[in-house]
Amino acid sequence: MKIASPSGGAFFMEKKDLRQLNLEALETLVADYKQPKFRAKQIHEWLWNKSARDIEQMSNLPKDFRAQLQDQYNIFPISIANHQISSDGTIKYAFRLHDGFLVEGVLIPSKDRVTACISSQVGCSLSCTFCATGFLKRERNLRADEIYDQVALLRAESEEKYGRPLSNVVLMGMGEPLLNYANVLNGIKHITAQDGLNMSPSRFTLSTAGISKMIKKLGDDEVRFNLALSLHSANNEKRSKIMPINDSNPLEDLVEALNYFYAKTGTRVTLEYCVINDINDHPEEAEELVAFARKIKCKVNLIEYNPIDQADYEASSTQKLERFKSYLESRKIIVNIRRSRGKDIDAACGQLANKLS
């Protein structure tokens, strides 16, 4: 298998990736090795429930069978390249992939939960002007096992660093999940399956910049996890300036897609609104957000803007943020302010840019 490297060259993986085989394929594999059928379930359990990082860990497989597998197959797990701890307890991680690329993830502890923020792509192609990742080149999609590995590693880190289990997962890191649809859903399947990490889908949130046709596909697939839309403006002209994806996915299309998603899943959508000083925090923008929110079943999260080196935006004052929230509440919109965590290590919303390596 030929794999591109970050330097632009290529190298060859001589062994095949065992995690690319589903249970049916594993059953064929064990039959080829003259092993009983139940060995396939044992391998599957090691891969997706026990998060094995090496075939030699599969201790209930015969030693000679493990040796045969290792001769032809490998597990290409991601690893923690580095980490940085914020003054508020948030931890940012750099994950190294098998081909040398890096992505970032974050562990966010709070009073009643520990949340893992994970990535779906190496870089991003959407160029949102307030987001550091948007200034990176999109190198490739993450595979399902790489999405799974982030959660498996952060779950272990949560137990080690905080002495508490991981409770929630948000796909709000690097990349646009709906532009990596198949791998993202397959990764979530292994994370939430009973024979996987067995996390409840209700504890999982996918955040998208708004790909209308793929939001509808989520509805058609009747997903059971939560959906958040990175909105940031309820005015097409203003939204297109800060989020170019709006040119091809305008607000009218998003309303239709979100209503379709709700009709298919019964899940209320969260609208994420990063409040930026003198960009989207005026009274008229609050009115536009109310008008948009009333068209769908939703709640609103107002997010403190986190400055990045690549943009001149500033965070709205606490007074303006509270005034914005009060206006939405006066119009009967369910709204919360999401306080930023990990600002001092560039781990807060919109700040992930692979500075940690």
CA separation for the pair 104, 81 (Å, rounded): 10
Catalytic residue among 124, 128, 131, 349: 349
Question: Is there a common fold for 2-74 and 100-345?
Answer: no
CA separation for the pair 89, 11 (Å, rounded): 39
Instruction: Give residue-wise pLDDT tens across range 224-234.
Output: 999 999 999 99
Say whether 104 is catalytic: yes
Catalytic residue among 24, 45, 104, 287: 104
Contact at 8 Å (CB) between 101 and 139? yes
Instruction: Give residue-wise pLDDT tens across range 11-55.
Output: 445 799 999 999 999 999 999 999 999 999 999 999 999 999 999
Q: Is the dihedral of CA 67, 72, 77, 78 positive or negative?
A: positive
Q: How many residues does the chain have?
A: 357
Contact at 8 Å (CB) between 102 and 354? yes
Q: Quick count: other Cβ atoms within 10 Å of Cβ 221?
A: 12
pLDDT-based confidence at residue 10 (cuts at 50, 70, 90): very low
The second-level CATH assignment, the architecture, of 2-74 is Orthogonal Bundle (1.10)
Say whether 322 is catalytic: no
Please state the domain extents for the chain.
2-74, 100-345
Partner residues linked to 201 by β-bridges:
none
CATH of 100-345, one of 3.40.190.10, 3.20.20.70, 3.40.50.300, 3.40.50.1100: 3.20.20.70
Contact at 8 Å (CB) between 350 and 305? yes
CA separation for the pair 54, 64 (Å, rounded): 15
pTM: 0.91
CA separation for the pair 204, 224 (Å, rounded): 9
Task: For residue 243, give Cα distances in angstroms to 1, 258, 285.
Answer: 36, 18, 16
